Amino acid sequence: MALPDQPQPDQADRPLKLCVLKFGSSVLFKPDDYARAAHEIYRHVRAGEKVVAVVSALDGETDALFGVGNDVGQGCSDALLARLVRCGELKSAALMGLALERSGIPSAVLDPHEMGLRAEGEALDANLTGLDASRVLKRFASVDVIVAPGFFGEGADGPVTLGRGGTDLTAVEFAHWLGADRVRLIKDVDGVYTDDPAKVANAKRFDQLDYDEAARVSRGLVQDKAITRAKEQDVVIEVAALGRPYATRIAAVEQRAGDGLEMKPMRVAVLGHGAVGAGVCAHLLAHPGRFTLNPVLVRDPAQHSAGAAAELSFTDDPARALGGEPDIVVETIGGTGLARALSQSVLREGAHLVTANKAVVALDFDRLHELAEENGRSLRYSATIGGGVPILELVDLLARHDTLLSVEGVLNGTCNFVLGQLGQGVPLAAAVAEAQRLGFAEADPSADIDGLDAADKLAILVRHAFGVALHPDQIACESLSDLSAERIAAVNEEGLVFKQIACCSTTADGGVEARVEIRALAPDHPLAGLVNEGNGALLDLPSGQVGVFGKGAGRWPTAEAVFADIMDIQRETLLPAQSASHQPENPLSHGRQMSSRTVA
Ligand SMILES: NC(=O)c1ccc[n+]([C@@H]2O[C@H](COP(=O)([O-])OP(=O)(O)OC[C@H]3O[C@@H](n4cnc5c(N)ncnc54)[C@H](O)[C@@H]3O)[C@@H](O)[C@H]2O)c1
Ligand SMILES: N[C@@H](CCO)C(=O)O
């Protein structure tokens, strides 16, 4: 297949790390599966990659559209059929965008005409011929993920489709034209096997295959046209399954057989079933066979049982909730009483701990890390800062490679939401009540309003950024309740916006200064545009400033971060060596952007 090739986009537009992920119909069976795809996308985003997510239609949708098209048209033109069947991918892309938005992952859904995605050939078996790569890459200045419908492009006389399995071809072409580091085709099997593993019990998985062998063995698992095109353009394809650590690489390589992987479900104990815990339980239940759940610890089991999923049971007895030697304990009860005691004891007893509780991590940072180390267990707390915004991951990544000078951020979603409401004249009490209803606020919302929640987060952040231990009480905090209606009106009048800013920086004597303050920002300040529960952080390095933004509170963004921690632990448990060797690169080392925005 000889096609006119595209000029490579300007390298300055290309993010440092870019991957194309393709989600096929074999993993998109039902609307709930978009949340599972979002977890996979988020995993890459928090490792510092920008993602192009190319989606197929939901399983069965394309056949149904062909069926109804043929019924209505009875021998109608292929051009009209192509126009009809592409609707499956258009719908799927919009659903993917909605799932990402729910989790607070900054993303844009683009149709082929918005990306200059051109095609030519037969209406139902066309090839892609070009993409406006610079236009696509520029969108990464404001989002981490671009969602694109696969399977079709814009022909000279209207939309044309790429043949069955054509979304694989879309993904390979995007990887080539955008200069992506890799393209990962997500299927319902974790690679190419000697035979279909669903039908042949002793089918063997390949770790890597060359293109010709892959075309022969894969028997349609990967579209033939996509393999041919990848070979022509030297695009390395990975065939992988959702959440499983293995993949088959298809490249100009020697064939190599891979290991089999038996996945035993991990036992998970979830403590708490409130705003965060209920979201985490929903994600765990959406992965049957991978996790078994203990009874969930709550204050009032009867209240939680009504309307909950049938697979869930509840208890108010911590011993029952933690029975059966769970592999992972997820703490979402909050507070520094029971939660603090249990966090230490579960590590001592040999479980991995994933927690959303910043108050406990801020207070017991050293003790919890020591216990995790002593017992060879993981301690994860991504959700303690920024909800679903990977602030801690970015701080870790930069601190590993560079000298962080200062960090400032909006770290409390409730305050950001409340300040927005106050600016519109809503009284403080009503704004706080609404933040509680939306699941953003702490059990005692004065922790949000008085800056104490932001101080807990800042204490953890300072530790990661500068390695300096600060007790949250050492961080001076300004309270939102000190803002008078007159001051808010005056700031509004000047066209400024109030934000609660948590900031920290190194001092000349090698110490660290940290505080939480209410600041009036000019509208063009990078943090000024954060609305509602938005969180964000700006990190200053000698080489420039990097920012990261998204949704910082609420069920789904927070559960996304907690679940990503759980999935990381499962992956590391299955393949410890592979996880250890995967260290993300420094996003500033090539002067390019990462899963965050370079703002200065
Ligand atoms: N809500 C958010 O947006 C968000 C974001 C990031 C982190 N967090 C943190 O996550 C944790 C939970 O927050 P949430 O908003 O889900 O709280 P929540 O009040 O909505 O839920 C708490 C849950 O824990 C249970 N619980 C509380 N105390 C208990 C006790 N002593 N014994 C048994 N069960 C008990 C409750 O029954 C409830 O199911 C907190 O540490 C919070 O700071 C919350
Ligand atoms: N109460 C916290 C929850 C997220 O940590 C907030 O509003 O930011």
With a 6 Å cutoff on the Cβ, whether 516 touches ligand 2 is no
Nearest residue to 241 (alpha-carbon basis) of 567, 23, 566, 17 = 23
pLDDT tens string 192-210: 999 888 888 889 999 999 9
- How many residues does the structure list for the chain? 600
- For a ligand 2 pocket test, name from 414, 480, 500, 558 the mutation site with the most ligand atoms within 8 angstroms of its C-beta: 414
Q: Pocket residues for ligand 1 (CB within 6 Å)? A: 272-277, 297-299, 316, 332-334, 338, 356-358, 383, 387, 439-440, 442-443, 553-554, 558
Report how many helices (DSSP H) and strands (DSSP E) the chain contains, helices first. 23, 27
CB atoms within 10 A of CB 495: 9
With a 6 Å cutoff on the Cβ, whether 388 touches ligand 2 is no
Just give the CATH number of 266-386+559-580: 3.40.50.720
Q: Which residues contact 493 (CB under 8 A, 6 or more apart)?
A: none
Superfamily of domain 391-552: Dihydrodipicolinate Reductase; domain 2 (3.30.360.10)
Q: Residue 9: what residue type?
A: P
For residue 449, the ligand closest to its alpha carbon is: 2
Rounded Cα distance, 29 and 218, in Å: 21
We find that the CATH architecture of domain 15-257 is: 3-Layer(aba) Sandwich (3.40)
Residue 260: band (very low, low, confident or very high) from pLDDT cuts 50, 70, 90: low
pLDDT tens string 340-394: 999 999 999 999 999 999 999 999 999 999 999 999 999 999 999 999 999 999 9
Q: Whose CA is nearest to atom 39 of ligand 1?
A: 273
DSSP string, 331-372: E-S-SSSHHHHHHHHHHHTT-EEEE--HHHHHHSHHHHHHHH
What pLDDT score was predicted for residue 597?
37
Nearest-atom index, ligand 2, CA of 412: 8
Whether residue 4 is predicted with pLDDT greater than 80 in this model: the reply is: no
Nearest-atom index, ligand 2, CA of 414: 7
Residues of the chain with CATH 3.30.360.10: 391-552
Nearest residue to 33 (alpha-carbon basis) of 13, 56, 63 = 56
With a 6 Å cutoff on the Cβ, whether 387 touches ligand 2 is yes
Nearest residue to 327 (alpha-carbon basis) of 21, 569, 103, 22 = 569
Q: Give the up-direction half-sphere exposure of residue 164: CA atoms within 13 A in the CB hemisphere.
A: 9
Ligand 1 centre and the CA of 139: distance in Å?
Answer: 36
Residues of the chain with CATH 3.40.50.720: 266-386+559-580
Across the beta sheet with 125-130, what order do the strands follow? 125-130, 118-122, 152-155, 158-161
Nearest residue to 470 (alpha-carbon basis) of 336, 355, 334, 363 = 363
Q: Quote ipTM for the complex.
A: 0.99
pLDDT tens string 308-343: 899 999 999 999 999 999 999 999 999 999 999 999
Residues of the chain with CATH 3.40.1160.10: 15-257
Nearest residue to 344 (alpha-carbon basis) of 320, 315, 374 = 374
What pLDDT score was predicted for residue 61?
96
Nearest-atom index, ligand 2, CA of 558: 4
With a 6 Å cutoff on the Cβ, whether 456 touches ligand 2 is no
How many whole angstroms from its chain centre is CA 439? 20
pLDDT tens string 555-580: 999 999 999 999 999 999 987 655 44
pLDDT tens string 506-530: 998 888 999 999 999 999 999 999 9
As a whole-number percent, the residues of the chain with pLDDT over 90 amount to 83
Nearest-atom index, ligand 2, CA of 553: 4
Q: Where are the alpha helices (DSSP H) in 47-77?
A: 61-73
Q: What are phi and psi of 169, to 5 degrees?
A: -65, -40
With a 6 Å cutoff on the Cβ, whether 552 touches ligand 2 is yes
With a 6 Å cutoff on the Cβ, whether 413 touches ligand 2 is yes
DSSP string, 524-570: TSTTTT--TTEEEEEEEETTEEEEEEEE-SSHHHHHHHHHHHHHHHH
With a 6 Å cutoff on the Cβ, whether 296 touches ligand 2 is no
Instruction: Tell me the CA distances in angstroms from 33 to 64, 107, 130, one per residue in order.
Output: 19, 18, 30
For residue 334, the ligand closest to its alpha carbon is: 1
Ligand 1 centre and the CA of 555: distance in Å?
Answer: 11
Nearest residue to 447 (alpha-carbon basis) of 481, 407, 410 = 481
Helix, strand, coil % over all residues of the chain, rounded to 5: 40, 20, 40
For residue 272, the ligand closest to its alpha carbon is: 1
Rounded Cα distance, 518 and 79, in Å: 59
